[in-house]
Amino acid sequence: MGYAKEMMLRELEQGFHSVSSAKVVCAKCFTDEAIQAFIRDRVSERKCSYCGRRSKKPIAAPMNDVLGLIVEGLNHEYADPIEENARDDGEWVIDPRDTADVLAGMDTITENRDVFDEIVSSITSDWVDRPLWGPSEGDFLRYGWDDFVEAVKYDRRYLFLMPKEDRYSSGGLTPDKMLDQLGEVITQVGLVRTMNAGTRWYRARVHGLAKKYTSATDLGTAPREAALSSNRMSPLGIPMFYGAENEATAIAETYAPKPGTPEAVTVAQFRTARDASVVDFTVLPKVPSLFDQENWHRRGPIWFLRDFVEDLVRPIEKDGREHVDYVPTQVVTEYLRHVFRTETGHPVQGVIYRSARTEGGKCCVLFVGNDECCEGAPGWENDQEKRLGLTGKPKRHEYP
Ligand SMILES: [Zn+2]
């Protein structure tokens, strides 16, 4: 076989036109962290062919190696239009995109114009989404969640765990499977963490001006018979402890001014007795780069969780609609409380989420009953039956 033909076959197989083997590129020519790490792992030259930077130590790696990495990354989520049947009767059903267009649609990988031009002139394939005719992993979860929300709000609130044919079949993930799938994603992405003993949470109680509340019984979790409102994470009759990381957030989450109705809000500070596992939705990891092969499997789940968390904390007016709109999060909370287990097989004791009412404020719902809240007298945490101790003096705010 002639050299030219051999070269052509190799390029076809590798998916890009090789550049001169003398061309090397440094990590600073890229902004994508995965590509930077890839280069740092295989530096061999002391001068970058693109930005001209020099060093006493090797700083640049062969451009052909980097092009190989980029092609593999693109191939993970984009495909040859022919392979994905993007054509029907000779016409494109979906117009393929070139490499420049695909790169423009994602986080910038390089700000160096020469490097960018080299990439798009070497990788000349056309691309369509992979898979083209089905949902990506992130969309699969997202459609499943949308169907789940629709089902528990408007169709089958209590019996959705019994599989039903066909009705909710957009992505293949039916409502009865959604909760376990969500549990898997939570574990995979690493949202379970330890909430340390002694963590402070503020709880606000709204009441008439004539009342005065100071005890843990009055300011802790409502007793069953008093749990008469539908909340984000808990339905009527199932009390949970709602707290916030500071006083302002606790008040903002609980008190909505009603003109003409004077009211008071008493805020109490509680502390946790022991270390406990919680699901923390406030710190989501970054979506890994398409060029970070080791973390490809986490891209879909993290994309999904970002949308899911938006849904979780969306502000909802308490005008009667909350009895319907809170149902999906109430079901998820019940699942996390009673079914979900950590990797070591333990149940979680609460959920941490962002406040819908204050910028950046954190809230919690802890699975702690009224009788598990107590006065924080010295040694209170040694009582294994107690989980939250009232510490400090409750503060009263009046809104005339
Ligand atoms: Zn450079």
**Between residues 138 and 246, which one has the greater pLDDT?**
246
Number of domains in the chain: 2
Tell whether 134 is covered by a domain.
Answer: no
Distance between Cα 19 and ligand 1 center (Å): 16
Give 119 Cα–ligand 1 centroid separation in angstroms: 14
What is the percentage of the chain residues whose pLDDT exceeds 70?
98
Q: Which of 106, 129, 152 is the last residue of a domain?
A: 129
Q: How far is the CA of 116 from the centre of ligand 1 (A)?
A: 12
Task: Give domain status of residue 151, yes or no.
Answer: no
In a domain? residue 183? no
Q: How many angstroms is it from 30 CA to the middle of ligand 1? A: 8
Residues 178, 153: Cα–Cα separation, whole Å: 15
Is the same domain home to 245 and 391? yes
Rounded distance from Cα 74 to ligand 1 centre (Å) = 22
The mean pLDDT value for 222-242 works out to 91
Q: Are residues 236 and 92 in the same domain?
A: no
Co-location of 383 and 276 in the same domain: yes
Longest Cα separation, the chain: 96
For residue 44, what are the domain limits? 3-129
The pTM (predicted TM-score) of the whole model is 0.86
Q: Ligand 1 mean position to 113 CA, how many Å?
A: 11
Q: Which residue has the higher pLDDT, 260 or 395?
A: 395
Does any domain span residue 387?
A: yes
CA 285 to ligand 1 centroid distance, Å: 29
What is the 241 CA–ligand 1 centroid distance (Å)?
54
Least trusted range by pLDDT, from 42-56, 108-122, 141-155? 141-155
Pair of tokens at residue 125: 């394939």
> What percentage of residues in the chain have a pLDDT greater than 90?
73
* 12 CA to centre of ligand 1 in angstroms: 27
Same domain, 123 and 199: no
> Is the pLDDT at 304 greater than 90, yes or no?
yes
- Mean pLDDT of the chain, nearest integer: 92
Ligand 1 center to 369 CA (angstroms): 60
Mean pLDDT, range 194-198, rounded to an integer? 97
What is the predicted pLDDT for the residue at 165?
63
CA–centroid distance, 95 to ligand 1, in Å, is 34
Ligand 1 centroid to Cα of residue 31, in Å, is 11
Distance 105 CA to ligand 1 centre (A): 23
Instruction: Kindly state whether residues 101 and 209 are assigned to the same domain.
Output: no
C-alpha of residue 25 to centroid of ligand 1, in Å:
5
Which among 129, 156, 174 is the end of a domain?
A: 129
Q: What is the 29 CA–ligand 1 centroid distance (Å)?
A: 4
Work out the burial of residue 152: count CB atoms within 10 Å of its CB; fewer than 13 is exposed, 13-18 middle, 19 or more buried: buried
CA of 296 to the centre of ligand 1 (A): 26
User: Does residue 136 fall inside a structural domain?
Assistant: no
Whether residue 256 sits in one domain with residue 117: no
Mean pLDDT of the region 267-277? 98
Q: Is pLDDT of 255 > 90? A: yes
Query: Which of 342 and 260 is assigned the larger pLDDT?
Result: 342
Q: Both tokens of residue 260?
A: 């003409």
Residue 175 covered by a domain? no
CA of 385 to the centre of ligand 1 (A): 62
User: Which residues fall inside 5 Å of ion ligand 1, going by CB?
Assistant: 26, 29, 48, 50-51
Residue 294 binned pLDDT confidence (cut-offs 50, 70, 90) = very high
| 164 found inside a domain | no
In this prediction, residues 237-245 reach a mean pLDDT of 96
Question: Measured in angstroms, how far is the CA atom of residue 114 from the centroid of ligand 1?
Answer: 10
Q: How far does the centroid of ligand 1 lie from the alpha carbon of residue 79, in Å?
A: 29
How far is ligand 1, taken at its centre, from the CA of residue 115, in Å? 9
How close is the Cα of 121 to the center of ligand 1, in Å? 18
190: pLDDT strictly greater than 80: yes
Together in a domain, 203 and 310: yes
* Separation of alpha carbons 215 and 210, rounded Å: 16
pLDDT tens digits along 147-189:
999 999 988 888 878 777 655 555 578 888 899 999 999 999 9
Residues 120 and 207 in one domain: no
Same domain, 69 and 203: no
The 3 state secondary structure assigned to the chain is CCHHHHHHHHHHHHCCCCCCCCCEEEHHHCCCHHHHHHHHCCCCECECCCCCCECCCCCEEEHHHHHHHHHHHHHHHEECCCCCCCEECCEECCCCEEHHHHHHCCCCCCCCHHHHHHHHHHCCCEEEECCCCCCCHHHHHHHHHHHHHHHHHHCCCCCCCCCCCCCCCCCCCCHHHHHHHHHHHHHHHCCEEEECCCCEEEEEEEECCCCCCCCHHHHCCCCHHHCCCCCCCCCCCCCCEEEECCHHHHHHHHCCCCCCCCEEEEEEEEEECCCEEEEECCCCCCCCCCCCHHHHHHHHHHHHHHHHHHHHHCCCCCCCCHHHHCHHHHHHHHHHHHCCCCCCCCCCCEEEEECCCCCCCEEEEECCCHHHEEECCCCHHHCCCCCEEEEEEEEEEEEC
CA of 100 to the centre of ligand 1 (A): 20
The rounded Å distance from CA 215 to ligand 1 centre is: 65
| Confidence bin at 373 (pLDDT 50/70/90) | very high
Strand partners, 352: 280, 364
| Lowest model confidence (mean pLDDT) among 86-95, 127-136, 353-362, 391-400 | 86-95
Whether residue 210 sits in one domain with residue 120: no
Distance from the first to the final alpha carbon of the chain: 91
Label residues 286-306 b or e (16+ Cβ within 10 Å = b). Answer: ebbbbbbeebbebbbbbbbbe
Question: Which pLDDT band holds residue 117 (cuts at 50, 70, 90)?
Answer: very high
Do both 343 and 214 map to the same domain? yes
- Which of 109, 129, 149 terminates a domain? The answer is 129
- Compute the distance from residue 110 Cα to the ligand 1 centre, in Å: 10
Q: Which residues contact 25 (CB under 8 A, 6 or more apart)?
A: 39, 48, 49, 50, 60, 61, 63, 66, 115
Separation of 294 CA from ligand 1 center, angstroms? 25
- pLDDT tens string 51-92: 999 999 999 999 999 999 999 999 999 998 888 887 878 888
Residue 161 belongs to a domain: no
